């Protein structure tokens, strides 16, 4: 495994896990009426402990990890994204990119065949698509149950906008139509591109 793989994976996993842990604990604190600041600090502590205890083990087995660990990681981070971003499904394309990137590198690392690549990419793309559909359905439910004519959308921590609900309906509807096929083909395209580069490097080495 290349050093750059470990560095990038360490940065991505650390950031995602720290943010996910932080956000989940804040959400639980608000849900159960607990002290939010204390829960936020607890979430950061849990994230840091994960990085200290398990990150090295994850990096050592980066391309041989059990798929269940990857599925749980994907689902938790998607849940956190929904809690934070609400109906903005476009952010899930970032996860589709990572899913294709990881799957292509994984098959290439194991020196898998084109057939194995096609099989694994199809699984990754379908799973990513299922998560996006669930996200889409929940987004519609949220819109149905939101009281009022304006919905506040958080793009990032320091930028939020109030969007008229009718406008948001149109945005979510057309985003669903566009993102579902785009999400699938993004996983496939990224995975194939990465695998091609990996295969070429293996032949030259």
**50 and 101 fall within a common domain:** no
Maximum Cα–Cα distance across the chain: 62
Give the pLDDT score at 121.
Answer: 95
Residue 7 to residues 99, 109, 202, Cα–Cα distance (Å): 17, 16, 21
The last residue of one of the domains, among 43, 62, 81, is: 62
**154 and 195 fall within a common domain:** yes
- Give the pLDDT mean for 68-72: 87
Asked if residue 88 has pLDDT above 80, the reply is no
**93 and 30 fall within a common domain:** no
Asked if residue 93 has pLDDT above 80, the reply is yes
Beta bridge partners of 152: 162
Domain hosting 16: range is 1-62
Give the pLDDT score at 150.
Answer: 46
Q: How does strand 150-156 pair with strand 159-164?
A: antiparallel
The last residue of one of the domains, among 62, 79, 96, is: 62
Overall domain count for the chain: 2
Asked if residue 12 has pLDDT above 80, the reply is yes
**27 and 76 fall within a common domain:** no
The average confidence (pLDDT) of the chain is 81
**2 and 86 fall within a common domain:** no
**16 and 38 fall within a common domain:** yes
Asked if residue 10 has pLDDT above 50, the reply is yes
Q: Are 22 and 46 in contact (CB under 8 A)?
A: no
Give the pLDDT score at 19.
Answer: 83
Q: Are 26 and 36 in contact (CB under 8 A)?
A: yes
Structure tokens at 15: 């950031």
Q: What is the pTM of this model?
A: 0.78
**113 and 19 fall within a common domain:** no
**122 and 39 fall within a common domain:** no
**34 and 96 fall within a common domain:** no
- Ordered DSSP codes for 8-64: HHHHHHHHHHHHHHHHHHHHHHHHTT--HHHHHHHHHHHHHHHHHHTHHHHHHTTTT
**127 and 186 fall within a common domain:** yes
Asked if residue 84 has pLDDT above 90, the reply is no
Q: Are 143 and 165 in contact (CB under 8 A)?
A: yes
Angstrom distance (rounded) from CA 65 to CA 164: 44
Q: Are 55 and 37 in contact (CB under 8 A)?
A: no
The last residue of one of the domains, among 62, 83, 98, is: 62
**57 and 19 fall within a common domain:** yes
Reported as half-sphere exposure (CB side, CA atoms, 13 A), residue 22 has a value of 11
**104 and 148 fall within a common domain:** yes
Asked if residue 69 has pLDDT above 60, the reply is yes
């Amino acid at each position: 495994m290349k050093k750059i793989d470990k560095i990038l994976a360490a940065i991505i996993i650390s950031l995602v896990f720290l943010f996910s842990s932080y956000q989940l604990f804040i959400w639980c604190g608000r849900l159960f009426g607990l002290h939010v600041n204390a829960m936020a600090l607890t979430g950061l502590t849990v994230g840091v402990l994960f990085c200290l205890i398990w990150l090295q083990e994850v990096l050592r087995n980066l391309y041989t990890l059990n798929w269940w660990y990857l599925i749980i990681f994907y689902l938790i981070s998607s849940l956190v994204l929904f809690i934070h971003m609400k109906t903005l499904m476009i952010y899930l394309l970032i996860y589709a990119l990572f899913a294709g990137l990881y799957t292509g590198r994984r098959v290439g690392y194991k020196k898998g065949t084109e057939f194995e690549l096609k099989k694994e990419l199809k699984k990754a793309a379908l799973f990513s698509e299922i998560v996006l559909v669930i996200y889409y359905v929940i987004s519609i439910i949220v819109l149905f149950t939101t009281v009022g004519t304006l919905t506040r959308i958080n793009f990032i921590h320091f930028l939020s906008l109030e969007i008229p609900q009718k406008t948001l309906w149109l945005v979510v509807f057309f985003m669903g139509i566009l993102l579902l096929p785009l999400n699938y083909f993004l996983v496939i395209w990224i995975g194939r591109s990465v695998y091609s580069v990996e295969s070429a490097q293996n032949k030259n080495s």
